[in-house]
Structure 1
Amino acid sequence: MCTVSYLPGQSGFILTSSRDEKITRPIARLSDPVMIHDHEVTFPQDPLGQGTWIASSNTRTVCLLNGAFKSHKPRPPYKHSRGLVVLHAFDYFSLQSFAENYNFNGLEPFTLLLIEVGELLVLRWDGSQLFVTEKNPSQKHIWSSATLYKPEIIKKRQDWFDRWISSTEELSLDSIRKFHLTAGDGDPENAIRMRRDNLYETVSLTSVVRSGTEMDMIYEDLIHSETTYKTMSQSYVSN
């Protein structure tokens, strides 16, 4: 599942996630903040696995995509839902500590994006090995789930994003959310807002907006046309 974009800003970023999921899966709801370790975390909770694909405190944001580098054949049973890994990442003091000490064994392959001030890490777990890449947090990025999109489609989606970047005067929350809802070339199976075989569909759109000492989460349920907002005010600025 998921298409995720990242736009840097002068005092923060905008991370936006399209959740591509089975139409029959129960709809998630945006939670009230939950204390995890020393983080007050907000996230849309998946009713099935009790985890999430995107979560944020006022200092850390974590986002999940299914699959690592390529599509894989599921081999259950797995230790637990990948969506719980997103929440477990808040148990660690730093992103590096999580990457170095978390036990990924027994989990289905996934890609995890971890963001703090000045840091953007991409973790890919292929089922047997962890790959950690540092990305430039001052550059724009887009990722597509390896389980739903073939490499040539992922490349095409990158091209759409690059063209949108070059042709858009203002890279704002409204403009990136419009991109997630409208970008494509007429093929609904691989558009950013996708629908495939009456089985998979983009069911929600979530944005995390960091600006200075404040973090906002905007969760839009595309099935029921409902939007929920949460604001996390930061009482301090971490070094």
Structure 2
Amino acid sequence: MCTVSYLPGQSGFILTSSRDEKITRPIARLSGPVIIHDREVTFPQDPLGQGTWIASSNTRTVCLLNGAFKNHQPRPPYKYSRGLVVLHAFDYFTIQSFAHHYDFSGLEPFTLLLVEVGELLVLHWDGSQLLITEKDASRKHIWSSVTLYQPDIIAKREKWFSDWIISTNNLSLDNIRKFHLTAGDGDPENAVRMRRDNLYATVSLTSVVRSGTHMEMTYEDLIHAEPATRSLLQHHVSN
């Protein structure tokens, strides 16, 4: 359950994910590089499902939001955690191949963002059908999880994002992280850094910065104040 922003750059992008979760969920920590299908992949690992909501190699970034088009009623048992799908995406040579050949059946609804330089793919799985949408990777985007936010709130958050873009002269990592931590209108339940009683809150903030052949992931646990950063350098550019 997340809010995700995407900012294009001249030689890459910045993708930032606010993770909205139950406060009581076990702490996720940033992994060292894990080899998946000959790729070094970095991600914060969820101790419950052993998966993640965001992962990145030097050439690919994958990010998960719960829900597809509208809030749904969970109907377990499911085949496995949606967080594992994020890691499975690195088993495929291209994101298009993953989108067209992966078996999504038996999984709870979700939205998946797949980013490679010059390509941005959005997959919506509603539990029975898959919708694949190609987004303009040269434009700025924001998404909010439909399991936590009603359509009018999602539209309001998109307005905050567009207003922030107009008002800032520097679309930097520090500034987009500040947006994720401060944007809102005084309603803590629907602010980008949200909190709903003592049940749900924005528990972490993760950014992936891709610049040329370099990828850096910055992860901050907002509940326990545990920041971490990992960098990967691509020696052989394949895209």
Question: Which TM bucket (shorter chain)?
Answer: over 0.9
- Runs of 4+ in structure 1 displaced over 3 angstroms? none
Q: Which runs of 5+ in 2 are unaligned?
A: none
Task: Say whether 1:96 aligns with 2:102.
Answer: no
SS of 1:154 mapped into structure 2: helix
Q: What is the CA-CA distance between 1:198 and the residue it aligns to?
A: 1.4
Q: Distance in 1 between matches of 2:174 and 2:154?
A: 23
Task: Say whether 1:136 aligns with 2:136.
Answer: yes
Q: Distance in 2 between matches of 1:168 and 1:54?
A: 26
Structure 2 length-normalised TM: 0.99
Q: What is the CA-CA distance between 1:223 and the residue it aligns to?
A: 0.7
Equivalent position of 2:209 in the other structure: 209
Structure 1 length-normalised TM: 0.99
Task: Say whether 1:6 aligns with 2:6.
Answer: yes
Q: Distance in 1 between matches of 2:11 and 2:117?
A: 9
Q: Which amino acid aligns with 2:58?
A: N
Equivalent position of 2:189 in the other structure: 189
Q: Distance in 2 between matches of 1:68 and 1:38?
A: 30
Equivalent position of 1:26 in the other structure: 26
Residue pairs, 1:67-146, within 5 angstroms: 67-146=67-146
Q: Deviations over 1:140-167 (max 9, x none)?
A: 0000000000000000000000000000
Q: Distance in 2 between matches of 1:43 and 1:154?
A: 26
Q: Which amino acid aligns with 2:108?
A: E
Task: Say whether 1:169 aligns with 2:173.
Answer: no
Equivalent position of 2:157 in the other structure: 157
Equivalent position of 1:44 in the other structure: 44
Q: What is the CA-CA distance between 1:238 and the residue it aligns to?
A: 1.6
Q: Which amino acid aligns with 1:184?
A: G
Q: What is the CA-CA distance between 1:197 and the residue it aligns to?
A: 2.5
Q: What is the CA-CA distance between 1:71 and the residue it aligns to?
A: 0.2
Equivalent position of 1:232 in the other structure: 232
Q: What is the CA-CA distance between 1:206 and the residue it aligns to?
A: 0.2
Q: Distance in 2 between matches of 1:146 and 1:196?
A: 16
Residue pairs, 1:48-63, within 5 angstroms: 48-63=48-63
SS of 1:93 mapped into structure 2: coil
Q: Distance in 1 between matches of 2:16 and 2:111?
A: 15
Q: Which amino acid aligns with 1:155?
A: A
Q: Distance in 2 between matches of 1:144 and 1:117?
A: 23
Q: Distance in 2 between matches of 1:9 and 1:24?
A: 36
Q: What is the CA-CA distance between 1:116 and the residue it aligns to?
A: 0.7
Q: How many residues align?
A: 239
Equivalent position of 2:200 in the other structure: 200
Q: Deviations over 1:155-181 (max 9, x none)?
A: 000000000000001000000000000
SS of 2:158 mapped into structure 1: helix
